Amino acid sequence: GAPGDVNSNVLVARSTGDAQLDKAVWQWLSWDKNQKTKEQIESLLQSGKHKELRDRLCCRLTFGTAGLRSAMGAGFCYINDLTIIQSTQGIYKYLERNFSDFKQRGFVVGYDTRGQVTSNCSSKKLAKLTAAVLLAKDVPVYFFSTYVPTPFVPYAVQQLGAVAGVMITASHNRKEDNGYKVYWENGAQIISPHDKEIIKCIEECVEPWNGSWNENLVDTSPLRQDPLKRICDSYMEDLTKICYHRELNVQTSLKFVHTSFHGVGHDYVQLAFKAFGFQPPIPVPEQKDPDPDFSTVKCPNPEEGESVLELSLRLAEKEDAKVVVATDPDADRLAVAEQQENGCWKVFTGNELAALFGWWMFSRWRENCSQDADLGNVYMLATTVSSKILRAIALQEGFHFEETLPGFKWIGSRVKNLLDNGKEVLFAFEESIGFMCGTSVLDKDGVSAAVVIAEMATYLQGQSLTLAQKLVDIYEMYGYHIAKTSYFLCYDPPTIKRIFERLRNFDGPQSYPKCCGVYNILHVRDITTGYDSSQLNKKSVLPVSKSSQMITFTFQNGCVATLRASGTEPKIKYYAEMCALPGHSDRSALEEELWRLIEALIENFLEPGKNGLTWRSA
C-alpha cells in the first residue's frame, strides 16, 4: 500500500510493541485530514520515535485556568484541527443535553491572529472547524468575520442570548501555543462541573462526524451569521457607561501611545478612545498589525515589563507622549507605563494598576450615585494571589470586597451571581494585569481598561498629578501594599508535585512548616487539599481545587505569600505582599523586609538548586 493508505499504516503501527500506542497511531492516521500534522505522526512512526509518539498521542488536553491550551502540532494533547473538532463535538453533545433551545439560541465563535505554518494551523482555521462541527448539526453560529479581542466573545454570548461561545486564542503565551476558551450562557468562562462534564463528552465522541471537516460551511451555511458590526457598535456604546469626563477627554493635551503586541488590539482600542472623546492614541507601527511570529518581542507578554515595551517607550519619547498603554495579543490584558519627571519610565505592576482602578471606580461611583445609594450593595473582587489593596479601600470606605480562586473564570461566575442578586460590582482584577471595569463584560478586558486609564490620567493631569503620584496618595491613605510576584520555570511536573508534597509533610507527615528561615508562620491555607489553619473547622472557605497546586502562608509580620503551579505554563509562581496599615509609610523598610522574606521562601521552600528550577530573569 501507498504511505497514505490506512492499511499499510496499521501494519507499521503494530510494530511499536505497545497495543495502546498502536491504537492511538491508527486512530490518528485514519482520522486526521490535515496533511501536515498527519505527516508529523507518520514520520515519527517511520523513524521509530516511540517515546515522542507516546507523548503526543497517549494523553488528552484538559481544562486549565483558561480553557484548553497547548502547543500547536500533531497529537491528542496538542492544539490542531483534529483535537479542536473533537473538543467541539464534545461541547455540542454537552450543550444538547443541557439546553432544549440550543438550536434556536446558537453559539458564538471568535479567534485571534495566531498561526503555525508547519502544522497548517491558524486560529481562524480552527475557528472555522469549530463552527463547521456545529453548523453541520444545524446549530446557528455567530462567527466573527475577522479577528476580535477575547472579551468580545463573552460579551456577544450575553448580547445575543447564545448558549455558549468559544474563543480560539492562547492570549500572551509564546508563539508556538494556541488554545480554546469556552464561555457559558452567563458570559463567564466555564468552571467546574461543566469543564469535567465536557471532557467526558469529548471522550465519548472522539471520531470526527461526517460534516466536521467541512471548514467551508461558514461561507455557505444559511445558519451562519456575522455578529461583528452589531457587537462592535454595541460594545463601544456600552463602554460609555464608564466614561465620566468626556469634556476633559475632548480637550486634553495629553498624548498616548498604544501597542497591540502584534495581535488583535489596534482597531478596537482606536474605536474605544474615540468613544470616550479622545484623539486616537499613537500606534507603534512595527507592532500594530497582526504577526503570528511576534517578531519584535522576545515573548508576547506585556507583563514582562520594560524589555518588551522597548519600541513603544522609544516612540513615546519621540512623540512626547507621557503614557503608554499595551494590550496583549488577544487584548484581554493591559500594561501601562508612565514617564516620570526624571525622564525614566515607570511600568506599573498589575497590583499597582488595581490600586488606581479601585480608587477611580469607587470615587466615580460615589460622585455619580444617587442620594439613597446603598454602600452595602457595592462590591469589588480580586483573585486570592492578587494584592489586598482593594480590601483596605473597602474597609475604609464601607463597601464589600471578596476573593476568588486564581483565574478570571472564578471572578466572572461570582460577579454574575452578585449581579443576579441585585448587587453592584464596580471593579475586579487579577495581578497578572487582568482588569474588569464595570460589568458589560464578565471577563478581563484590556480594551476598556486602556481607555479608563487614559481618562484617569487626563483627569489627574487637571489636578497637576501623575498616575505614579496618585498611587502614592492611595497608599498613604489606605496603607502601603507592596507586592512582588515572579516565577521559576520547571519543565518536569513530578518535580513540581514533589516540592508541594514536601511542604505538606514538612515537620513530619501531614504537618506544614511553622516557620520559613527566621520568619514565623501564623496560618497555612492549602487550596489543593482544602485545609486552612485559620478557620475553626480547619476547612478552606475557597473551593478545593485538587488538580492544581497552591499553598498560602500568612506570616506573623503581616506578609502573605502564595506558591502555586501555573495553570497555563510550565511555571511555579510566587506571590508575596506586605500589607501595612495607614500611617506606616516607611516604604523602603517594608520593601527590605519583603525581599528578605522572599529570599527565605525561595531558599527554604522551593530549593531551586536542588530542584533544577530556573528563575525568570536568568
| Residues with catalytic roles | 171
Q: Which long-range contacts (CB under 8 A, 24 or more apart) does 503-508 make?
A: 503/551, 503/563, 503/605, 504/529, 504/551
134/292 Cα distance (integer angstroms): 27
508/487 Cα distance (integer angstroms): 27
215/217 Cα distance (integer angstroms): 5
> Parallel, antiparallel, or unpaired: how do β-strands 378-383 and 531-532 relate?
unpaired
CB 186 within 8 A of CB 416: yes
Scan for cell 492562547, then name that residue. 170
Question: HSE-up of 278 (CA within 13 Å, CB side)?
Answer: 28
Burial of 113 (0-12, 13-18, 19+ CB in 10 A): buried
> Parallel, antiparallel, or unpaired: how do β-strands 224-225 and 141-143 relate?
parallel
Q: Give the rounded distance of the alpha carbon of 178 from its chain centre.
A: 13
Instruction: Compute how many other C-beta atoms are within 10 angstroms of the C-beta atom of residue 82.
Output: 25
Instruction: Compute how many other C-beta atoms are within 10 angstroms of the C-beta atom of residue 59.
Output: 12
476/58 Cα distance (integer angstroms): 55
Q: What is the 3-state secondary structure (H, E, C) of 25-58?
A: HHHHHHHCCCHHHHHHHHHHHHCCCHHHHHHHHC
Q: What is the 3-state secondary structure (H, E, C) of 378-389?
A: EEEEEECCCCCH
**What is the CA angle 438-444-447, rounded to 5?**
80
